[in-house]
Structure 1
Amino acid sequence: MNVNLPETLASVTAAFEAYEAALMRNDVEALIPFFWQSPQAVRFGATENLYGWDAIVNFRQNRQPPLPRTLMNTVITTFGEDYANISTEYRNSAGVCGRQMQSWVRTDAGWRIAAAHISLRPEIS
């Protein structure tokens, strides 16, 4: 297994950064394609469990815009050329701290989030 091949790491990092930028702009039309268009896609949020691409799209279209946030301790690890895990912590402008983990897969359409888990925590040391 090849871990963190430079070209693969660079391409998934660029996709993650584009996702984060779209999230901070609350650009729903840009955010939706970042998720794997499959009934097997999963997103566990701080207050919701979403199963399947349709549920994720519905959530995105009806969600309030997120507060600006700063990412910390982001770790991107690729396995081979088509799979990556991305873990990060964040603090939003209201001082709320959280964690986010995503599994990304390379599809014919590019990198897509197959699974995501977001959780809140009172503080980050």
Structure 2
Amino acid sequence: MIEVNIPDVLAEVTAAFERYEVALVRNDVAVLDELFWDSPHTLRYGATENLYGIDEIRAFRAARPSAGLARTLGRTVITTYGRAFATANTEFHRTGSDRTGRQSQTWMLTPEGWRVVAAHVSFLA
């Protein structure tokens, strides 16, 4: 049976998720790139783009505008499964917009630490 939300694992993933969020709103591309698994198997479905592999994700991040990234999170749910796999899901709102955004991340423990292996960002209509 897989243990869910082992306290120390949940704390590690929560810290990695929070580090990602700070890097996202500051547009700290180096940290964002670090926290995605350096693999051609990594994918990110964005609000307007589908990115396959770390090279496409890095190119997107390098070209993305750095303005208007601040947001408020709500209903964040982080769940760990065993000691090497986790999901993080959150809703978000950007200043000046009434749309609700959603972000899902799948995290995996690698020799380098916790890394996002798949992500999806979308908005409710």
Q: Which residue of 2 aligns with 1:6?
A: 7
- 2:79 and 2:15 map into 1 onto residues whose CA distance is 13
1:94 Cα deviation from its structure 2 partner: 2.3
Q: Which residue of 2 aligns with 1:76?
A: 78
> 2:24·2:69 contact (CA, 8 Å) conserved in 1?
no
For residue 123 of structure 2, the aligned residue among 100, 116, 120 is 120
Point out where structure 1 has 5 or more consecutive residues left out of the alignment: none
> For residue 4 of structure 1, what is the amino acid of its counterpart?
N
CA RMSD of aligned residues (A): 0.9
1:63 Cα deviation from its structure 2 partner: 0.5
Q: Which residue of 1 aligns with 2:41?
A: 40
1:118 Cα deviation from its structure 2 partner: 0.4
* % identical equivalent positions: 52
Q: Which residue of 2 aligns with 1:56?
A: 57
Q: Which secondary structure state, in structure 2, belongs to the residue aligned with residue 43 of structure 1?
A: strand
Point out where structure 2 has 5 or more consecutive residues left out of the alignment: none
Aligned length: 122
| Runs (4+) off by over 4 Å | none
> 1:12·1:84 contact (CA, 8 Å) conserved in 2?
yes
Q: Which residue of 2 aligns with 1:31?
A: 32
> 2:101·2:121 contact (CA, 8 Å) conserved in 1?
yes
> 1:67·1:93 contact (CA, 8 Å) conserved in 2?
no
Q: Deviations over 1:78-107 (max 9, x none)?
A: 000000011100001122320000000000
- 1:85 and 1:118 map into 2 onto residues whose CA distance is 14
